[in-house]
Chains A and B, each alone.
Chain A
Amino acid sequence: MPALIEAQNLTKKYGSHVALDHANFTVEAGRIVGLIGPNGAGKTSALRAILGLTSYEGRLEVLEREPFSERAALMNEACFIADVAVLPAWLRVDQAIDFVAGVHPRFRRERARALLTKSQISGMRRVRELSKGMKTQVHLALTMAIDAKLLVLDEPTLGLDILARRSFYDALVNDYMDETRTILITTHQVEEVENLLTDVIFIDKGRIVLSSSIEDIAARYVAVAVADNDVAAGRAEKPFYERRTLGKTVLYFETPDVAKLSPLGELLTPSVSDLFVAKLSQGAA
């Protein structure tokens, strides 16, 4: 079965600035993929290319379509939330539902209505009258009600308070359990989504630094917190990154000799955020 998203040598330049530099990655069906990178890494450029919003060089296939030339057709089966604030201010909630119902063949009106009733948002209100959290809820309700194969979220919780962020991810996960669609999400708040992800793609300066499933990460990467007198022994095993915290030195290894490391301390799988920082620093070194 072909991958849902397949990118080969994906390149995007804005004048002389290279936003994406021959990036290669795939997204398989049914996965929840986190696209993680620092500011200016190329995350938004990658998403824009995937969603047919910008031209690019290289090969990119999304749901077996070329996104830039087939964006409208692609949007029958994919949907995205670009940012919390993109719903038009003048639009009424019930107009939004009517419009999407009218133009989208896979939109289920009752589902959108149900989600909005749960959030207690009246159909008569205009987007400009809603708080930021409510705007997200409306956008999410509209998107969840579309029976799409691919959902792309670009920093969806930007600017939301913790309650709104929590309810957003809860709704996302619950929906995922019901529908088994593929989700591609970018966010700065890696810790928040870590537990949801099945795969991660690290991107930095337009290049893919790491592309792996969470299980593979658990199999490949090991972090050990060693006391000061064990640090030399730990360094002998060639960690790719080290970090000092709370009186101990944490050493990060890729496929190490586990037997040699066990005596030095407890072996843990690094969190995605830690691994991200480690990998990026490795690249910078």
Chain B
Amino acid sequence: MNTYSWLVRREFWENRAIWIVPVVIGAALTLAALFGRVDFGNLSLAAQNRAIGGTVLFAFGMTFFVVMSIYSGWYLLDCLHADRKDRSVLFWKSLPISDTATVLAKLFTGMIAIPLVYFIAADVSTLLIAFIISMRSRSAIGNALWQPDLWLQLQALWLYLIVTSAIWYLPVAGWLLAVSAWAKRAVMLWSILPLLALYLLERWFFGTHVFGAAFADRILGYAPRAFHNMSGNAGWVTAVMDKDAVSTPGSVWILLDPLGFLSSPATWVGVVVGIAFVVVAIQLRLRRTEL
């Protein structure tokens, strides 16, 4: 296990952007809180304060989550290609580290370690921002943002998001790793164009949409599996501010659907496909010492 901790540390040494980008986002949002519009008007009900507070914090969290997803995707696509390009793979292969360990450490970094960094940055930023807004705002919004219960729910949401999205998007991560290990150059094109080709060829020759549907489901189907369908508005809390109505789920606990996620067959098909791609990536890494 010691080898793995060094391998992950090496990823952080190589990609300083892993922590620089979240810090920059946090700083930008903090500045926005310091100098931006924070007047939320007067909200009478505690529940409405919660709705606004939850929405604000959720919006900040989503910023981190979106950037994290883009960065993780880029990282996985680059991690097995960059060291072949500059030949430093020959240095890493001169050490007693198996190719399996190398690939798994990079998978872990992309799917767990990087999200955790963003999670911590989001936490720290939201604490700072909540503090700043509660100081600045004339309304009771500050009280809304400072609730320990709300904060705890956000932690739970983040951790649930990290674990379940890592499981759901494993086939995507595996595909990116395999392309990274295989492509000589134009890595991004190789990650996209074959999929497009597969989709088009299937349509033209068979008239079917199987691949396209499966792919779309993989990208978009995470939320419906991991979270309850909240469209019934049963658990929602709405606040009206100026003339906008803001709705958030009253509590995170009714939103999360771990049993549904784990019992969905698509989840496990994805895991099997993901493992297959990771095995391919390891085999490619074993055989290639240059571009």
Chain A positions within 8 Å of B, measured between CB atoms, are 48, 51-55, 71-76, 79-83, 85-92, 95, 99-100, 102-105, 139, 143
Contacts and interface: CB of A to CB of B under 8 A. Distances in A.
B138 interface: no
Given A87-B91, A88-B14, A73 B96 contact: yes
Identify the 10 closest CB pairs spanning chains A and B, nearest first: A88-B88, A82-B90, A72-B98, A75-B96, A102-B6, A86-B90, A76-B96, A53-B289, A86-B91, A86-B87
Contacts of B5: 102
A72 B97 contact: yes
Contacts of B87: 82-83, 85-86
Nearest to B289: A53
Q: State the main secondary structure of chain B at its contact with A.
A: helix
Nearest to A127: B88
A73 to B, nearest CB: 7
Contacts of B14: 88, 90-91
Nearest to A95: B13
A103 B6 contact: yes
A250 B116 CA distance: 73
Contacts of A88: 14, 83, 86, 88, 91
Contacts of B44: none
11 contacts: A53-B90, A71-B93, A72-B97, A72-B101, A79-B94, A82-B94, A83-B87, A86-B90, A88-B88, A89-B88, A100-B95
A283 B263 CA distance: 70
Given A53-B90, A88-B14, 4 more contacts: A74-B96, A75-B94, A75-B95, A87-B88
Q: How large is the interface on B (under 10, 10 to 19, 20 to 34, 35 or more residues)?
A: 20 to 34
A104 B209 CA distance: 51
B118 to A, nearest CB: 22
A169 B96 CA distance: 25
B153 interface: no
Contacts of B98: 71-72
B91 A90 contact: no
B289 A72 contact: no
A92 B5 CA distance: 18
B63 interface: no
A233 B287 CA distance: 56
Interface string B1-15: 011011001100110
Contacts of B97: 72, 75, 103
Q: A55, A76, A90, A139 — which one has the most chain B CB atoms within 10 A of its CB? A: A90
A4 to B, nearest CB: 17
Contacts of B289: 48, 53-54
Contacts of A74: 96
Interface in B97-154: 97-99, 101
A72 B96 contact: yes
Interface in B238-291: 287, 289
B18 to A, nearest CB: 13
Nearest to B287: A55
A89 B86 contact: yes
**Centre residue among B9, B86, B96 by max chain A CB count within 10 A:** B96
Choose among A52, A73, A75, A79 the residue with the greatest number of B CB atoms under 10 Å from its CB.
A75
Contacts of A75: 93-97
A48 B290 CA distance: 11
Nearest to B102: A72
A83 B94 contact: no
A79 B88 CA distance: 15
Contacts of B10: 99
Nearest to B2: A102
Contacts of B6: 99, 102-103
Given A88-B88, A88-B91, A104 B96 contact: yes
B95 A104 contact: yes
